[in-house]
Chain A
Amino acid sequence: MLPIPENIAIVGLNIESLITALILRKAYHRDFVNIRIVNIANPTPHSNISLVDKQLNQLLTHYEVPEAQYLKTLKAVPIIATEFDEWSNTEFIIPKKHEADIFFHPLLQEISSLKRQHFDLRLDTNDFFFSHYLSAKKLQITSESFPFAIENGYQVDSNALHELLVEIAENNHIQIDRKDTFDFRLDTSGNIFSEDFGDGNDNEYIFDCSGFSQILTSKLPGYCQKQLPKIRQNNRCLSATLTNTHQDRKITCVAMKAGFLTICNTEQITEIQYFYSSQYTSDEDAKTELLDYIQNKKHTNVASLNLYSSGQHLVAAPWQGNCVALGLTAGFNQLPVVSSIEHLMLSVTDFVDSIQIDANEDEIKAAFNARVTKRYEYCRAFGDLSLLLQSKLDFPYWLIPQDNTLLSEVSGAMLALWRKGEDLNALSVADIIGEQAWYALFCGLDHFPQSNLQKHVNENAIEKEVYEMKRRFEGYSNNFTPINDSFDKPADQKTIENSAVSEEDNV
């Protein structure tokens, strides 16, 4: 059994470390456990917008921050779906789970199964998700007369969130040490010690939240990256921040010439990140392409442009010795279907649960590592399959065949299930990407047989069921009031200015 923590140090002063500290403080009383955050100089690029889910709301509610206040302070915009534009013939969404969807999931399963058996049936996947109706009709996401809930997330202002978390941490006996440098040493068992962590206490547990720097994790003797297949790898990220923009409750992923954009926004800013491969475009061309996109979409003022190196990674064993790698330190996937904060919160909860397990230390750590890395692998598989199965024909980046045999175990298994016409729930990790999301992905990418199609005898009956479903969703949507006009549509065109690129190619 692992020791109950008495001293905890968290390396890095950022949103991830602060959330970690607050989850641990919630789990461990201040009279018995010291929690200390040690600031370090950290070159990890700082995103202006953070993607969070409702778990953070619950955490902040525990610290008596009312949800309404928190959302207002953070200029939050809900997330009800991730939209994929230009990846296939039609736009499609990966919805946040809505409780009303479950009644129609069997129909989606049935139609997709028949289509995989070469039956020629019409399927517009978005119709099966109530989030789509809320978005298309520009409706509020909650209604007092409709008790089914959506598990939406939020796009929040990172700086405001950071400030809020610092305030909560300082009011809840979490010590924050701001240092420019610090030293640490490893003992023969691979445990980390540092005078900078406090008053000479041995810290039973140290959490590495240093982001891509992996300040502690990368120095551990057993450190290695888990090798995952490389499907259309992107190594660069061009990030634009725009002000005075429209508000969209979907995160958007747009396929570009040599990679994809991810677009998110708060009430005040939009952040567009272009993940691309320098093999297929130059930085200058990527910049031109991005600015053209912004202009074509009638977006708004570009406040800043930053260029980073960007790769995906996954630490093979996030918990070694007394050090646990969390969040971006542990892994990073470019496609934002699951955010790094969601990963982090689940991992910290796993840690707290692990401490209570009555088993051998090594077994507990191995189980923790398996669970955490499996989550990343699921998310990675989701991204890999979206990059593999897209149907773009316009640019070399998308046309170069990928080696299917190099698919990860998870990707391969999900793809095999799909192609065999089987249900996809067998492999789902319920707390990270649900079965519905996989259906949305495969159906949205239109990954169905395209030849030797045949009519289905019950086609009319199936279409009638789809019609009835749409009628029901239309009815449900009448319970919701419209949102402010500024949501979900571009604002008037503004001049693109201040588009100089600042190179921060230091990751």
Chain B
Amino acid sequence: MYKNIVVLGGGTAGWMSAVYIAKKWAHKNFRIQVIESDAIGTIGVGEGTVPSIADFFDALGIPEHEWMPKCNATYKNGIRFKQWSSVDGHEDYFHPFYSELDAFHKQALLTSIALRTQGFNTYAHPDVFSVVSKLDQEDKSPISSENYLFKSAYAYHFDAGLLADFLKSKAIELGVEHTVATISDVKLDNTGAIASIISNDGTEFLGDLFIDCSGFKSMLLGRALGVEYISFNDTLLNDAAVTVATEMDSSIPSATYSTALSSGWAWQIPLTHRYGNGYVYSSKYISPEQATIELLEHLNLPEGTPVNHVKMRVGRFAKGWEKNCAALGLAQGFVEPLEATALHFVTQSVIDLVSAIEDANYSDANRDIYNKKLEARFTSTRDYIELHYLANSRTDSKYWHAARSFTPNRRLQRLINAWQRGENIAHVLNEEKVSLQLFSLEAWVYLLAGKGFYSTTNERTLKVAPDNVNVNIERIKQFVNISATHFKSHKLSLENLKP
């Protein structure tokens, strides 16, 4: 029975795991320890999130006004992709998070775009159907007035280091023990499970369950238990990033911006006091120095501005939970930061882990179920991100040619074929059992339509749409404009959060 839990690593993943377990098992008298090295820095690339993180904070009972100001957090309505497509009119598009307001015109969106895939001249860009996209354009928060309450799913941007500190204090309040130590050895028992981990000074930390949050090193799951690593670099080329912070503008955007550059893409994440910027690239196509120059040019920063360089390992371990060790965060795997899914994997994994253990009377009986669920999450996320690259239409560098030149897996190939034949991709997603939990049907449509990934791009050859198409685009535009007036400026919403 798991009573003594050791979390290795004190980054965002480590403290998220510790505080969640401590909260959920508060009355079990379990011992929870976090072993954190002061010699290892946190990477903190996970500043952007997806809406599922709200469930995590809800489960902890921590309201926004308590944690957001302390973590320089901002709201996130979605992601705007810029310059990923060379198709006229599709130079950028927005991937909005779910909103009832957008759901109201879901059918119109799907009808219009389905007809466009069939060669009819209809509205083919998804932004026009989305209130949430409009909120991004106007730097508005996802918080509406009391006179216009509709359910929406939004996420956050935050300083990952500050969030780790905040969660650390919460975890310690809940009885989590914190030890600063650098681990140098791992002892296995005669079954091959982890018996203890040992620090540089010889201290031995015993445990029943070990949570590996040691980052890309994956000291327990990867190194000690030798779980197979599955690299994604055959399809996802990026393996490094260069990052730099810049000053915030007078208005705070409410979305992440992802701009395609010559050999990868640049993110811009708004925090309350600064932007977090980074250029994710493939070192095969650009050197760190060239990438730095390109990023600084992109941001209009002077040459010589200090930057940080990060190496990335894109892939996953074949099992996220082996023996008595579950890895979370980068130690579990990483599907590059394009859709800000890193912390989604952390929160969903720890939620799933706790449920799996509870359901099995605090044993490992549900380990295989957990691992299958995790694998499915990786598969659908990887598919979605690969489709970003497959559907790009940039022709300005070898990188972008290479990025779409790999052979798609069977699922993606079916999806692309169906889309380009004007068929319903919902059937393919359903038949291929692609999880729509993180990326809904609309998200797949936004991606393909937003990039203008149509088989016919010459508008002159399009057919006149049938008369009976029930899509009143003028009314939809009016709806979007009126709806947006009910939302506060992002900056004002953040100021209202301050105690």
Give me the interface of A with B, judged by CB distance under 8 Å: 99, 102-103, 144-148, 471-472, 475-476, 478-479
Q: How far is the CA of A232 from the CA of B147 in the complex (A)?
A: 45
Is A479's CB under 8 angstroms from B148's CB?
Answer: yes
- Given A99-B104, A103-B100, is A476 in contact with B148 using a C-beta cutoff of 8 Å? yes
How many angstroms from the CA of A130 to the CA of B478 in the assembled complex?
21
Question: Which residues of B lie under 8 Å from residue A476 when comparing CB positions?
Answer: 147-149
Does A145 lie within 8 Å of B149, measured CB to CB?
Answer: no
Contact B482 A471 (CB under 8 A): no
Q: Chain B residues in contact with chain A, CB under 8 A?
A: 100, 104, 145-151, 478-479, 482-483, 485-486
Q: Do B482 and A147 have beta carbons less than 8 Å apart?
A: yes
CA distance A144 to B479 in the complex (A): 10
Query: Is A103 touching B483 in the complex (CB atoms < 8 A)?
Result: no
Cα–Cα, bound, A146→B479 (Å): 8
Q: Is the CB of B104 within 8 A of A145?
A: no
- Asked whether A145 and B146 contact (CB < 8 A) given A99-B104, A103-B100, the answer is no
Which of B100, B146, B151, B482 makes the CB contact (< 8 A) with A146?
B482
Residue of B nearest to A479 (CB): B147
A472 and B149 contact, CB distance less than 8 A: yes
Interface contacts beyond A147-B482, A475-B146, A475-B147: sample of 15 additional A-B pairs, CB < 8 Å, sorted by A: A99-B104, A144-B482, A145-B482, A145-B485, A145-B486, A146-B148, A147-B478, A147-B479, A148-B104, A472-B149, A475-B148, A478-B146, A478-B147, A479-B147, A479-B148
* A475–B145 alpha-carbon span in the complex (Å): 9
Chain B contacts for A144, CB-based, 8 A? 482
A472 to chain B, nearest CB (A): 5
Residues of A within 8 A of B151 (CB): 103
A30 to chain B, nearest CB (A): 21
- Nearest-Cβ distance from residue A149 to partner chain B, whole angstroms: 9
The chain B residue sitting closest to A472, CB to CB, is B149
Q: Taking CB as reference atom, which chain B residue is nearest A469?
A: B149
Most buried by A among B147, B478, B485: B147
Question: Given that A99-B104, A103-B100, A147-B479 are known contacts, is A471 also in contact with B149, CB under 8 Å in the complex?
Answer: yes
Q: How far is the CA of A145 from the CA of B145 in the complex (A)?
A: 12
- Find the residue from A99, A145, A147, A475 having the highest chain B CB count within 10 A: A147
Residue of A nearest to B151 (CB): A103
Q: Closest chain A residue to B478 by CB distance?
A: A147
Q: Min CB distance, B168 to chain A, in Å?
A: 33
Interface contacts (Cβ under 8 Å), in number, total 32
Q: What are 12 sample pairs from A and B whose C-beta atoms fall under 8 A apart?
A: A102-B104, A103-B151, A145-B147, A145-B485, A145-B486, A147-B478, A147-B482, A148-B104, A471-B149, A472-B149, A475-B148, A479-B147
B460 CB to nearest A CB, Å: 29
For the complex of A and B, list the 4 residue pairs with the smallest distance between their C-beta atoms, beginning with the closest.
A147-B479, A147-B482, A478-B147, A472-B149
CB A481 to nearest CB in B, in angstroms, measures 13
Asked if B147 and A147 sit within 8 Å, CB to CB, the answer is no
Closest chain A CB from B488 CB (angstroms):
15
B92 CB to nearest A CB, Å: 25
Query: In the complex, are the beta carbons of A147 and B483 less than 8 A apart?
Result: yes
Output the nearest chain A residue to B146 by Cβ-Cβ distance. Answer: A475
A102 to B478, CA, bound (A): 19
Report the Cα distance A476→B100, complex, angstroms: 14
Query: Cα distance A102–B147 when bound, in Å?
Result: 17
In chain A, what residue has the closest Cβ to B486? A145
> Contacts of B148 on A, CB cut-off 8 Å?
146, 475-476, 479
Neighbour of A103 across the interface among B145, B150, B479, B485, CB < 8 A: B150
Kindly list chain A residues whose C-beta atoms are within 8 Å of the C-beta of B147. 145, 475-476, 478-479
CB distance from A110 to the nearest CB of B (A): 16
- B171 → chain A closest CB, angstroms: 29
Chain B residue numbers with a CB within 8 Å of A475 are: 145-149
Bound CA span A471–B148, Å: 10
B146 contact set on A, CB distance < 8 A = 475, 478
Shortest Cβ distance from residue A61 to the other chain B in the assembled complex, whole angstroms: 14
Q: Give the Cβ gap from A99 to chain B, nearest Cβ, in Å.
A: 7
A103 to B151, CA, bound (A): 9
CA distance A479 to B149 in the complex (A): 12
- CB neighbours (8 Å) of B486 from chain A are 145
Cα–Cα, bound, A102→B101 (Å): 11
The CA of A283 and the CA of B148, in the complex, are separated in Å by 52
Residues of B within 8 A of A479 (CB): 147-148
For the complex, give the distance between the alpha carbons of A147 and B104 in Å: 11
Measured between beta carbons, the chain A residues less than 8 angstroms from B150 are: 103, 472
Complex CA distance for A22 and B235, rounded to whole angstroms: 63
Measured CB to CB, the nearest residue on chain B to A143 is B482
Distance (Å) between the CB of A352 and the closest chain B CB?
Answer: 13
Contacts of A472 in B (CB 8 A): 149-150
Please give, as numbers and ranges, the residues of chain B lying within 8 Å of A145 by CB-CB distance: 147, 482, 485-486
- Please give the distance in Å from B128's CB to the nearest CB on chain A: 15
- Which residues on A sit within 8 Å (CB–CB) of B145? 475
Nearest CB on B from A263, distance (A):
33
Give Cα A103 to B102, complex, Å: 12
Enumerate chain B residues within 8 angstroms of A103, measured Cβ to Cβ: 100, 150-151
What distance in Å separates the Cβ of A67 from its nearest Cβ neighbour in chain B? 15
Query: A103 vs B99: C-alpha distance in the bound complex, in angstroms?
Result: 11
Bound-state Cα–Cα, A476 to B150, Å: 10
Nearest CB on B from A104, distance (A): 11
Write the nearest CB–CB distance from B188 to chain A, whole angstroms.
46
CB distance from A171 to the nearest CB of B (A): 26
A472 CA to B479 CA, complexed, in Å:
18
State the CA gap A476–B144 with chains docked (Å).
Answer: 12
Q: Which residues of A contact B482 (CB under 8 A)?
A: 144-147
Residue of B nearest to A478 (CB): B147
Please report the C-alpha to C-alpha distance between residue A281 and residue B476 in the assembled complex, in whole angstroms: 54
CA distance in complex: A103, B150 (Å):
9
Rounded to whole Å, the gap between the CB of A28 and the closest CB of chain B is: 16
Q: Nearest A residue to B482 by beta-carbon distance?
A: A147
Shortest CB distance B309–A (Å): 48
- In angstroms, Cα B148 to Cα A147, docked, is 11
Measured CB to CB, the nearest residue on chain B to A473 is B149
Give the Cβ gap from B240 to chain A, nearest Cβ, in Å: 45
Q: How far is the CA of A137 from the CA of B151 in the complex (A)?
A: 24
A478–B146 CA distance with the chains assembled, in angstroms: 9
How many whole Å from B22's CB to the nearest CB in chain A? Answer: 26
Q: What residues on B are CB-neighbors of A471 within 8 Å?
A: 149
CA distance A425 to B83 in the complex (A): 45
CA distance A147 to B478 in the complex (A): 8
A362 to B19, CA, bound (A): 74
Return chain B residues, CB-CB under 8 Å to A102: 104
User: Across the two chains, which residue of chain B brings its CB closest to A149?
Assistant: B475
Using Cβ atoms and an 8 Å threshold, which residues of chain A touch B483?
147
Give the distance in Å from the alpha carbon of A103 to the alpha carbon of B148 in the complex.
13
Give Cα A146 to B486, complex, Å. 9
Query: Hey, which chain A residues are within 8 Å of B100, CB to CB?
Result: 103
Q: Which residue of B lies closest to A476 (CB)?
A: B147
Q: How far is the CB of A97 from chain B (nearest CB, A)?
A: 14
Task: Give Cα A151 to B5, complex, Å.
Answer: 60
Kindly provide the distance from the CB of A153 to the nearest chain B CB, expressed in whole angstroms: 20
Q: Note all chain B residues with C-beta closer than 8 A to A99.
A: 104
Cα–Cα, bound, A302→B262 (Å): 83
The answer for the CA separation of A384 and B146 in the assembled complex, in Å, is 42
Shortest CB-to-CB span from A151 to chain B, Å, is: 14
In the bound complex, how far is the Cα of B147 from the Cα of A476, in angstroms? 5
CA distance A88 to B425 in the complex (A): 48
A468 to B, closest residue via Cβ? B149
Residue of A nearest to B131 (CB): A147
Chain B nearest CB: distance from A486 CB in Å? Answer: 26
Task: List the A side residues contacting B479 at CB < 8 Å.
Answer: 147
Bound-state Cα–Cα, A147 to B482, Å = 7
Tell me, rounded to whole Å, the shortest Cβ–Cβ distance linking B481 to chain A. Answer: 8
Give Cα distance in the complex from A37 to B14, angstroms.
83
Cα of A478 to Cα of B485 in the assembled complex, Å: 15
Least distance between A444 CB and chain B CB atoms (Å): 26
Complex Cα distance A472/B150, Å?
8
Closest A residue, CB atoms, query B103: A103
- Least distance between B322 CB and chain A CB atoms (Å): 38
- Closest residue on chain A to residue B145 by CB atoms: A475
